[in-house]
Amino acid sequence: MNRTLYALCGADKSRPFSPHVWKTMLSLAHKGLDYDTRAVGFTQIPTIENGATTLVPVLRDGDLLVRDSF
């Protein structure tokens, strides 16, 4: 199953800096779940999943879209 985590990043796309994104990443790692990270900037957030959210993290897990860090 493909999981995509949208993570807030600045100029360096390899370093997500949102503490809520980090909580999600640590939770996924703890559960042993694989995922791909897609880095987004502040101005790109409204375009995630066709405007489904205004906040990150957002996790696409198959047909399920999860918009909460807990």
- CATH number of the domain that 58 lies in? 3.40.30.10
Q: What is the pLDDT of residues 4-63, one digit of tens each?
A: 999 999 888 888 888 899 999 999 999 999 999 999 998 999 999 999 888 889 999 999
Instruction: Determine phi and psi for 51, rounding to 5 degrees.
Output: 80, 25
Q: Does 1 score more than 80 pLDDT?
A: no
Q: Give the residue carrying structure tokens 């990270």.
A: 37
Task: Identify the domain containing residue 31 by its residue range.
Answer: 3-66
Domain count, the chain: 1
- Banded pLDDT at 64 (limits 50, 70, 90): very high
Instruction: Determine phi and psi for 36, rounding to 5 degrees.
Output: -105, 140
pTM of the predicted model, to two decimals? Answer: 0.86
